[in-house]
Structure 1
Amino acid sequence: MEISTYQKEASRTCAKTENYLMDDLHMVLGMQTEVAEIADVYKKHIAYGKELDLVNIKEELGDAMWYFANLCNYHGWDLRDILETNIAKLKSRYPNKFDADKAINRDLESERAILEYNLPNTRKVKIFSEYEIEQLQSKVYEITGDGDVMMLFNDLLGIQAG
């Protein structure tokens, strides 16, 4: 399947919430959940001696991809452009092959120029009031009931617990 076909098909089963930030948050929390499920497969293999379930890993990668594709859909981004931009950035950072020194001493200005040039449709992010952030925090906790997810949400917003 072509990635553009996948992106279009993924949108067919994507629910919309009440606003774009909640849509984004739905996708980001979904990504985190799927990646955690992949980590759990490895944990069970390493810690409990369970057979490494590659079928489950592929399933969870597909589920994570669904969330990535729909986050792109919400913003009107073509996933092919994102992938091409990522490779352009990596070629700039590592012209020949991976280099640990270049991984540490990156030319962030050049990388940012590549990202901005290749993603002209990036939406500007709204700055939220304290009240709006409290409402979002409440909704996240209501949806997940999970303090760890709440801490992740606060980290994403740059909020310190207190």
Structure 2
Amino acid sequence: MDFNQYQSLANRTLYGSEQVLTNCALGLASETGEVLEVIQKYTFENHQLDRDELVKEMGDVLWYLSQIAEWADISFEEVAATNIEMLKNRYPDSYKISSNG
């Protein structure tokens, strides 16, 4: 599955009205906190890294991010391409381009 397909499929589960953007932004912040909590437990509380929980929480972050992009009519492909170009410009000597792209 590519990211644009994910974005479209994830949008099927979105509900709400004029408050969608605010709800998604708040949800993104909240779920990012959940990701940080998993990392905090691993880093500072001597827990094993709970990979399954990390994947779940990262998926929640991805969902909210995808819906913010969907609301703003921005494809994940555009976000990814723009970010890679920024990284190439920011780190021209250390950015390694693999044979895959």
Which has the bigger relative contact order, CA under 8 A and spacing at least 6?
A: 2
CA distance in 1, matches of 2:88, 2:43: 34
1:124 equivalent in structure 2: none
Q: Percent identity?
A: 28
How many residues align? The count is 95
Q: TM-score, normalised by structure 1?
A: 0.54
CA distance in 1, matches of 2:43, 2:82: 35
CA gap of 1:82–1:46, structure 2 versus 1, over 3 A, is closer
In the TM superposition, what is the alpha-carbon distance from 1:27 to its structure 2 partner? Answer: 1.2
Output aligned runs, 1:7-156, within 5 Å. 7-17=7-17, 19=18, 22-97=19-94
Letter in 1 for 2:66: A
2:98 equivalent in structure 1: none
Gaps of 5+ in 2: 96-101
SS at match of 1:96: coil
Larger-gyration structure (1/2): 1
In the TM superposition, what is the alpha-carbon distance from 1:16 to its structure 2 partner? Answer: 2.1
C-alpha RMSD of matched pairs (Å): 1.4
Q: TM-score, normalised by structure 2?
A: 0.84
Gaps of 5+ in 1: 99-162
